[in-house]
Chain A
């Protein structure tokens, strides 16, 4: 036997094995880590500002921590910049020319500036998933909706994708309702199921941060309760930032709350403190319903 050929065959096998291993690893849900250190940082905004293409400054010099495996809610009146801030975190504004970021959004512990020129927006979006106000499944099967992010990640092995799809659907608490119709159209699901499917789709690439933009505003109370329970469960393994107009929801599900007004971060603190004893009069006026 030729030693060179043997070496070449072994190398091919090893390459395949390594590729499969890498794909499995990329698709595996993150292991449950020990409880987060108190107030350990997952990200931090430093002097962060955002300008739309017409020059309008929607976010003004925000400094804010995002704590690891905690739920942070952002509240504030319409137009205060909370959704704009959320969308900045996964570079969604890059899709429109002329928009501009200033300051830094540092992902910890790596120290990578997510809005820096060195960061690839597509890769940022794989690391920071997003779910929108209205459920927006792709016009595809349930399976393909969840697999989409994995395919973007370059995962091709069918078995790996199968396992990851099941894992994501289980994490999003929608597996039992979809396991028998994975090839059925996602649009046939109820609104609440569609939203949890969208959460599964966002979870599939194993993001480090999950952004939720008013995820229950289009859902009935039962579907809302399921999503709220899901957010609580997911916060054991993923950092969550949620924008909500429902202050009771913010009080129920988040560990930290940020109040924004006209692009400024007015107050940030423990949710309990914000809703029982806010420090800033503007926060108090808003949450007590004395502010338009």
Chain B
């Protein structure tokens, strides 16, 4: 046999199904990060509610994917690269689920605090951070599906950029707090939003580390600088 097909077509079909479902869950998590951020920036309650509800879909996908992983483990007892892939996805869906929770928490702030919108001057930094984080989630999911160590490394490299953005937002908020203490609640909300996005970035990094493990067969070792902000 020269191609990479499994002797059991049902195994290939199950694995393919698992990867497709994982991609859909990744898309949901990435999209919800963007939607929650947009809702925050626009102080849009209905958009925020959409993000909160979408998290239920992410939770459902999490439960289904875990069940699918167990099903594959039970039916096929995969080994080597197949075992690492299934276990990698089983771990990664936990990260996507937590990423979804952070997005949901951002959206909830929008709903619970009517004037949560931030000044226009600060919108760009949060929007940019959100864009980098969504891309990191997308790329980490692609890296898992393609078993691409190169993409995983790009995700890990982007974590430093995410941390730097978060730190810059923090510094700006501190300055604004001193200048405009009456707007303290807005600046504090912004810190929470930025921190939530930064945590979503950490989950993308976790997934990327899983990818390094599954492609190399050994733990990736230290991939973070230990200088994560906050």
Q: Which residues of A contact B (CB under 8 A)?
A: 247-248, 251, 275-278, 284-285, 287-292
Interface residues as binary, B129-161 with A (CB distance below 8 Å gives 1, 0 otherwise): 000000000000000000000000000000000
B4 at interface, CB cutoff 8 A:
yes
Is B80's CB under 8 angstroms from A287's CB? yes
- Chain A minimum-CB-distance residue to B5: A290
B180 at interface, CB cutoff 8 A:
no
Is B217's CB under 8 angstroms from A277's CB? yes
Contacts of B84 in A (CB 8 A): 276-277
The complex places the Cα of A4 from the Cα of B152 at a distance, in Å, of 92
Please report the total number of B residues contacting A with Cβ < 8 Å.
17
The complex places the Cα of A277 from the Cα of B6 at a distance, in Å, of 18
B119 at interface, CB cutoff 8 A:
no
The complex places the Cα of A266 from the Cα of B174 at a distance, in Å, of 63
Contacts of A251 in B (CB 8 A): 79
Is B4's CB under 8 angstroms from A247's CB? no
A292 interface neighbour in B4, B7, B82, Cβ under 8 Å: B7
Is B1's CB under 8 angstroms from A292's CB? yes
Interface residues as binary, B70-114 with A (CB distance below 8 Å gives 1, 0 otherwise): 000000011111111000000000000000000000000000000
Is A289's CB under 8 angstroms from B8's CB? yes
- Chain B minimum-CB-distance residue to A277: B217
B218 at interface, CB cutoff 8 A:
yes
The complex places the Cα of A247 from the Cα of B80 at a distance, in Å, of 12
* Distance from A249 Cβ to chain B, minimum over Cβ atoms (Å): 11
Q: Which residues of B contact A (CB under 8 A)?
A: 1, 4-8, 11, 77-84, 217-218
Is B8's CB under 8 angstroms from A291's CB? no
- Chain A minimum-CB-distance residue to B8: A289
Is B77's CB under 8 angstroms from A248's CB? yes
Is B80's CB under 8 angstroms from A278's CB? yes
- Chain B minimum-CB-distance residue to A247: B79
Is A290's CB under 8 angstroms from B6's CB? yes
Q: Which of A275, A278, A288 has the most CB of B within 10 A?
A: A288
Contacts of A290 in B (CB 8 A): 1, 4-7
Take A276-B217, A277-B217, A277-B218 as given contacts and tell me if A288 and B80 are in contact as well, using a CB distance cutoff of 8 Å.
yes
Contacts of B218 in A (CB 8 A): 277
* Distance from A97 Cβ to chain B, minimum over Cβ atoms (Å): 38
Contacts of B83 in A (CB 8 A): 275-276
Take A290-B1, A292-B1 as given contacts and tell me if A275 and B6 are in contact as well, using a CB distance cutoff of 8 Å.
no
Is A284's CB under 8 angstroms from B1's CB? no
A277 interface neighbour in B7, B11, B80, Cβ under 8 Å: B80
Is B79's CB under 8 angstroms from A287's CB? yes
Contacts of A277 in B (CB 8 A): 80, 84, 217-218
A-B contact pairs, 15 of them (CB 8 A): A248-B77, A275-B80, A275-B83, A276-B80, A276-B84, A277-B217, A285-B1, A288-B79, A288-B80, A288-B81, A289-B8, A289-B11, A290-B1, A292-B1, A292-B7
Contacts of A288 in B (CB 8 A): 6, 78-82
Contacts of A287 in B (CB 8 A): 79-80
* Distance from A288 Cβ to chain B, minimum over Cβ atoms (Å): 5
A275 interface neighbour in B5, B7, B11, B79, Cβ under 8 Å: B79
Is B79's CB under 8 angstroms from A276's CB? yes
Contacts of B79 in A (CB 8 A): 247, 251, 275-276, 287-288
